[in-house]
Amino acid sequence: MTDASSASTGVGRGRSVRGDHWSLRPYPSELASDVVTDQGVILHLRPIRSEDADLLVRFHRGLSPDSIYRRYFSIHPELSDAEVRHLTQVDYVDRFAFIVETGDALVGVGRFDRVPNTTTAEVAFIVADEYQHQGIGLLLLDHLADEAWSLGITNFTAETQSDNRSMMGVFKASGFPVSSRFEGDAITACFPIQPTDESRASRTGREDRIRDAGRRRGDRS
């Protein structure tokens, strides 16, 4: 993903700007919240912190080779110290990351990096193998899109392997109008993140299904 340092072009949630640049943003603790997977498992989502370095290293070591390859396009069993710093030290404006955790274990990471001098950001996420196919990638995308939109970002782009149906499925399930192009063995997906009737309906439908599943489990207990 591209490391970006350009300023945002809009103001969201009352944040201030100095000229064309955002003022230094403190850790946005107000964005932390509990989230529920498709299976009704309650997890905690929050912005990443530099203190999460060890947590990220342990998470990466627990990933399967296939999951690592799909995220990094290479066999990459260990993160270097420089990579860990880059991934955990973000400015919460042009570079942002959410983590999903349970107890003291990290189960998912999603991030966006603004392409310099644009309103487009590259988005990526990865979920622990044992938590895949539970809607966590879509939860991360929802929250990343909300935050990016509030920061003046209007479009997401992502690159993945051409056979990575899971990631493309997440993008399409979001309700955003996704376009894609093939480049060899890779797909580049692009989509605007402005909330639409379809994206709102998609999110509402998922939330309703999770609540219904929770009620059914409660009735059986």
Instruction: Please check whether residue 42 lies inside any domain of the structure.
Output: yes
Instruction: Please check whether residue 17 lies inside any domain of the structure.
Output: no
Residue 21 confidence (pLDDT) above 60: no
Instruction: Please check whether residue 55 lies inside any domain of the structure.
Output: yes
pTM for the full predicted model = 0.83
For residues 46 and 35, is the Cβ–Cβ distance under 8 A? no
Instruction: Please check whether residue 13 lies inside any domain of the structure.
Output: no
Place of tokens 């979920």: 127
Residue range of the domain that includes 166: 32-220
Instruction: Please check whether residue 40 lies inside any domain of the structure.
Output: yes
Tens digit of each residue's pLDDT (9 = 90 or more) over 44-97: 999 999 999 999 999 999 989 888 877 777 777 788 999 999 999 999 999 999
Instruction: Please check whether residue 6 lies inside any domain of the structure.
Output: no
Tell me which residue of 41, 46, 80 sits closest to 60, measured CA to CA. Answer: 80
The enclosing domain of 77 has a CATH number of: 3.40.630.30
Distance separating alpha carbons of residues 147 and 216, to the nearest angstrom: 32
**What's the number of domains the chain is made of?**
1
Pairing of strands 179-183, 186-192: antiparallel
Instruction: Please check whether residue 213 lies inside any domain of the structure.
Output: yes
Distance separating alpha carbons of residues 23 and 32, to the nearest angstrom: 21
Instruction: Please check whether residue 1 lies inside any domain of the structure.
Output: no
